[in-house]
Amino acid sequence: MVKRWAGEIAARILKEEGVEVMFGMVGGHIQSFQDFAYREGIDVFQVHHEQAGVYAADAYARITKKPGVCFGTAGPGMLNMVSAIHMAYMARTPLVCFFGGHKIMEQHRGTLQEASAEEVCRSITKWTVRVTNPNQIGFYIRKAFRDAMAYPPGPVGIELPLDTFNWEPINDEEQIAYLPGKWREERSPRTAGDPELVQKAMVQILEAERPLIIAGEGVHWSDAGESLESFVEKTGVPFNLRRLARGAIREDHSLAIDGSARKKLIKDADLIVLMGLQVGYFENFGNWDTKAKFIQINEHYGDILPTLPTDIEIVGNIKTILEQMLNGLEKEKIPRDKVEASYNHIANLKEDLLAKKKNNLAELYETRPIHPGVLGKEVSEFLPEDTTIVLDSFTASAFLTDQIVATRSGQILDSGLSGGIGHGIGMGIGVNVARPDSPVFVMMGDGGIGIGGGDIETAVRYGLPVVYMIYNDSTLCAGIEDYCYGKDFRVLGPNAKGGFNFTQDIRYDQMFAPLGCHVEHVTEPEQIKPALKRAFESGKTAVINVIGTKHVFHPLYHTIHAKEMFWHLPADEVEEPVRKRHHEGYYKQFH
């Protein structure tokens, strides 16, 4: 019998599962596992903070469509990973997270770095297990990779107690419920939709006068972009792509609509097809102003929203269902005049919206410091078409995202429903590892750079040419003090001591230059594109410090959620500024 260390067995199984890279931070409780990963030829990216390792694995997984692998040591290492695992869980990213674990024999005795990953991660993973018998490691790793990818995908966790994995070698052949070697298919079987329901849905779409398709992350995970494109082109149905699905069909497609047109088309539609979309907070939980009937198509029955007036519900793989529909179209007579009318209607709508957007943005070029709308325009016009974009700025991201034209699935990454900041540094690293031959651009804010900025050194150390742009408005939540507190902080009072502000106009470019970054400092709109050009051409990790205005009202504060956030303030202090700015057109130019 061959005896091996448990960490050696674990690393070998990772290799069998096709793992090429992993991200994390070393620690005594996890070090043997990491050491054996090196010996197996797995590239291990060492970060400064464990959350950056998880963020990197998250981005890597979203792009490669296979589980990202991350690790951290026991206690504080595992706890430092939690916020990033939460983001992955909310975004439905498949991760396999390894945690060092305190010794079993010293549990509840005041041992070093004691904390239960099973208990801490229960609500933010599909499951987390503490492996107390080393003969089970093969089984749990195999299970982890399958369960992480089972739709809806998500993170799973495996805790490796120090004494279990470093006590003595074990017999390799005694692994329980484990078959050695790479024997499984690359992907799970794709489940078809009920043929009768698929046919019925296709007929309803063809008969609808004003149909609309809104598609989400299920299109990305099932590689359904080409099938969806073929379907909309044959039927003339306009579509809007959300989150990871953005770019699954080029967003400059004749039938593609962006967020500025979505509300109008939803209101006018008589049939809305939700396809692979988890309807939640960002869709106002489906509380749309429309009289349309709905068709819901999703790979997981739990994503079928029961509060919508739905005629047909179909559960199955999105690509497979679209292929079923395309096969069905061959037997149907498609009204060409209606298809042509749909193309013309969308073209006219987009032309009107584009003209308004250009006129409104033109007025903002006189704003100093730089307005985020201007920054978004300049950046979107410059970025090469194949650039992967990570959004990690509360203010700048809001004004950039709708100006980007995505051209491939998984091109635009953000924190999703977790709503966190500081993920951009790690995600930029993961994107570059997954797509080493494509440009990577990260839109940071000064809040996020303060949380995760230390790992810019990680990008430098591994020679990753990620371009980090910082929208430096010297504040958290731009516009919030103007919105409800006033510049004199009349509500907060003198104890606020600056309220939401940072030190004014920090020179982040000078801060990161000693690390070996290419750096730029931008104060005028005309400097943005040249700075980006030099940054990308440098071939180095780059930091561009853009001085922006803090007096721009974030779109979030013009929603109903603003009242929820500021309910505790005197009504006249909140409602009057809202009313005044709304009627003065403070916000209208962007919507």
- % pLDDT > 90, the chain: 63
CATH number assigned to the domain with residue range 367-590, chosen from the 4 options 3.10.560.10, 3.40.50.970, 3.10.20.440, 1.10.3720.10: 3.40.50.970
- Taking Cα atoms as reference points, which of 107, 97, 89, 106 lies closest to residue 129? 97
- pLDDT band with cut points at 50, 70 and 90 for residue 587: very low
Q: What tokens appear for 572 in the block? A: 């006249």
The CATH topology of domain 195-350 is Rossmann fold (3.40.50)
- Taking Cα atoms as reference points, which of 20, 24, 14 lies closest to residue 426? 24
The mean of the pLDDT values for the chain is 87
Q: Spell out the residues 6+ positions from residue 192 whose beta carbon is closer than 8 angstroms to its own.
A: 198, 316, 317, 320, 321, 324
3-state secondary structure of 187: coil
3-state secondary structure of 518: strand
Highest mean pLDDT (candidates 106-110, 236-240, 354-358, 532-536)? 532-536
Rg (CA), the chain: 25
- pLDDT band with cut points at 50, 70 and 90 for residue 1: low
Which of 32-46, 74-88, 473-487, 544-558 is least confident?
473-487
* Environment class of 482 (CB within 10 Å of its CB; exposed 0-12, middle 13-18, buried 19+): middle
- Taking Cα atoms as reference points, which of 415, 427, 414 lies closest to residue 455? 427
Does 581 have pLDDT greater than 50? no
Does 173 have pLDDT greater than 80? no
Q: What does DSSP assign to residue 192?
A: P
Q: Do domains 195-350 and 367-590 have the same CATH topology?
A: yes
Averaged pLDDT for residues 28-35: 88
525-552 pLDDT, tens digit each: 999 999 999 999 999 999 999 999 887 7
Q: What tokens appear for 82 in the block? A: 């939690």
Q: What tokens appear for 41 in the block? A: 């030829």
Q: How many CB atoms lie within 10 A of CB 579?
A: 10
Q: Pseudo-torsion of CA 24, 26, 29, 31, nearest 10°? A: 100
CA–CA dist 221, 62 (Å, integer): 8
CA–CA dist 380, 156 (Å, integer): 36
* Environment class of 233 (CB within 10 Å of its CB; exposed 0-12, middle 13-18, buried 19+): middle
> What is the model's pLDDT at position 2?
79
| Residues counted in the chain | 591
For strand 95-101 and strand 155-161, is the pairing parallel, antiparallel, or unpaired? parallel
* Environment class of 161 (CB within 10 Å of its CB; exposed 0-12, middle 13-18, buried 19+): buried
Which of 92-101, 322-331, 578-587 is least confident?
578-587
> What is the model's pLDDT at position 496?
54
CA–CA dist 373, 201 (Å, integer): 40
Tokens 């797995």 sit on residue:
42
Which CA distances in Å does 238 have to 76, 230, 233, 406, 426? Answer: 49, 12, 9, 16, 35
Which CA distances in Å does 23 have to 63, 70, 330? Answer: 15, 5, 48
pTM of the model: 0.92
Does 582 have pLDDT greater than 50? no
328 phi and psi angles, rounded to 5 deg? -70, -30
Tabulate helix, strand, coil % of the chain (nearest 5): 50, 15, 35
Does 341 have pLDDT greater than 90? no
423 phi and psi angles, rounded to 5 deg? -80, -20
Q: What does DSSP assign to residue 96?
A: E
Contact 455, 48 (CB under 8 A): yes
Give per-residue burial for 107-126: e unless 16+ CB within 10 Å, then b: eeeeeebebbbbebbeebbb
258-277 pLDDT, tens digit each: 888 888 899 999 999 999 99
Give per-residue burial for 340-371: e unless 16+ CB within 10 Å, then b: eebeebbeebbeeeeeebeeebeebbebebbb
* Domain 3-174 of CATH type 3.40.50.970: yes
76-127 pLDDT, tens digit each: 999 999 999 999 999 999 999 999 988 877 788 888 788 899 999 999 999 9
Does 524 have pLDDT greater than 70? yes
CA–CA dist 69, 61 (Å, integer): 8
Contact 125, 155 (CB under 8 A): yes
The structural domains of the chain, with segments of one domain joined by +, span 3-174, 195-350, 367-590
298-316 pLDDT, tens digit each: 999 999 999 999 999 999 9
Could you give the residue ranges of the DSSP H alpha helices within 40-127? 50-64, 76-91, 117-120
395-447 pLDDT, tens digit each: 889 889 988 999 999 999 999 999 899 999 999 999 999 999 999 999 999 99
126-136 pLDDT, tens digit each: 999 999 988 89
- Taking Cα atoms as reference points, which of 292, 230, 283 lies closest to residue 255? 230
- Taking Cα atoms as reference points, which of 525, 539, 509 lies closest to residue 444? 509
Tokens 């099932």 sit on residue:
222
Does 15 have pLDDT greater than 60? yes
Which CA distances in Å does 97 have to 19, 89, 130, 232, 580? Answer: 13, 12, 12, 39, 49
Q: What is the 3-state secondary structure (H, E, C) of 288-350?
A: CCCCCEEEEEECCHHHCCCCCCEEEEEECCHHHHHHHHHHHHCCCCCCHHHHHHHHHHHHHHH
CA–CA dist 180, 188 (Å, integer): 19
Does 578 have pLDDT greater than 50? no
> What is the model's pLDDT at position 579?
43
CA–CA dist 372, 255 (Å, integer): 28
Q: What tokens appear for 195 in the block? A: 């043929």
Contacts 24+ apart (CB under 8 A), 130-135: 130/101, 130/159, 130/161, 131/158, 131/159, 131/160, 131/161, 131/164, 132/104, 132/161, 132/164, 133/164, 133/176, 134/6, 134/9, 134/164, 134/165, 134/170, 135/170, 135/174, 135/175, 135/176
Instruction: Please give the span between the terminal C-alpha atoms of the chain, in angstroms, as a whole number.
Output: 69
CA–CA dist 483, 479 (Å, integer): 6
Does 583 have pLDDT greater than 50? no
